[in-house]
């Protein structure tokens, strides 16, 4: 009799444990995030990454990516739509940092074949200036209709070499567009080598 009660109790526990209702997770709306922010580690003491290499899309920045240099170029940053695509163009607002959160940055060496070559170095960092270090930005980017991403283009202006210096560009996605910014992946920092 005691054995039947124990067996029945254990069997009842297994039956009732399987009856827990799992409510589905429903996400409403959409948010925007930097592709590079979601894939790269945060900088020490910060809640976002700071990159010294041109970030690739859909992967972690690595040693095959060219370093960010003071020469005329356009750095293209992908911004992902997290949510359903839309039949209309959507916009994402962004703004620039007003102060550099770091004073030094360990810039990696240029990749093999990148001209001119530069060895790895620790650079003194200051804030990049719009109109001097890069072309002024609009503050709004577009995610085209029926797409899951858009691009923020950062045109770099040519500068004369400054030994041991780097310029910081920090960008924050904000809620000024039709798509809200992701809470966790809305900030990205870049250091442009001025050597």
Q: Residue 154's domain is classified under what CATH number?
A: 2.60.40.2030
Is residue 127 assigned to a domain?
A: yes
How many domains does the structure of the chain reveal? 1
Q: How many residues does the chain have?
A: 195
144 pLDDT higher than 90? yes
Statement: residue 152 has pLDDT above 70 = yes
Contact by Cβ (8 Å): 149, 9? no
Judge whether 187 and 48 are in contact, CB under 8 Å: yes
Q: Is residue 20 part of a domain?
A: no
Q: Tokens in use for 7?
A: 């067996």
Range(s) of the domain holding residue 85: 29-193
Residue 27 has pLDDT above 90, yes or no: no
Evaluate whether residue 7 is within a structural domain: no
CA–CA gap between residue 150 and residue 90 (Å, rounded): 9
Burial class (CB in 10 A: 0-12, 13-18, 19+), 119: exposed
Strands (E), 25-89: 31-34, 50-51, 73-82
Residue 61 scores a pLDDT above 90: no
- pLDDT, tens digit, for every residue of 163-189? 999 999 999 999 999 999 999 999 999
DSSP character for 51?
Answer: E
pLDDT at 11 > cutoff 70: no
- The CA-CA-CA angle for residues 49, 137, 48, to 5°, reads 10
16 lies in some domain: no
- Does 23 map to a domain? no
**DSSP type of residue 179:** S
Q: Return the pLDDT at 1.
A: 63
60 assigned to some structural domain: yes
88-98 tens-digit pLDDT: 999 999 999 99
């Amino acid at each position: 009799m005691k054995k039947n009660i124990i067996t029945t109790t254990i069997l009842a526990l297994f039956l009732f444990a399987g009856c827990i209702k799992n409510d589905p997770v429903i996400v409403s709306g959409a948010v925007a995030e930097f592709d590079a922010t979601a894939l790269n580690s945060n900088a020490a003491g910060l809640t976002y990454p700071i990159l010294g290499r041109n970030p690739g899309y859909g992967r972690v920045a690595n040693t095959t990516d060219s370093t960010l240099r003071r020469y005329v170029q356009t750095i293209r940053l992908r911004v992902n739509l997290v949510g359903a695509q839309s039949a209309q163009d959507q916009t994402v607002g962004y703004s620039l940092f007003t102060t550099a959160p770091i004073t030094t940055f360990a810039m990696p060496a240029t990749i093999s074949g990148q001209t001119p070559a530069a060895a790895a170095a620790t650079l003194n960092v200051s804030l990049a200036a719009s109109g001097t270090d890069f072309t002024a930005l609009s503050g709004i980017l577009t995610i085209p209709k029926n797409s899951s991403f858009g691009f923020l283009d950062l045109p770099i202006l040519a500068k004369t070499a400054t030994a041991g210096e780097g310029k910081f560009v920090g960008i924050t996605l904000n809620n000024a567009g039709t798509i809200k910014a992701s809470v966790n992946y809305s900030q990205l920092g870049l250091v442009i080598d001025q050597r």
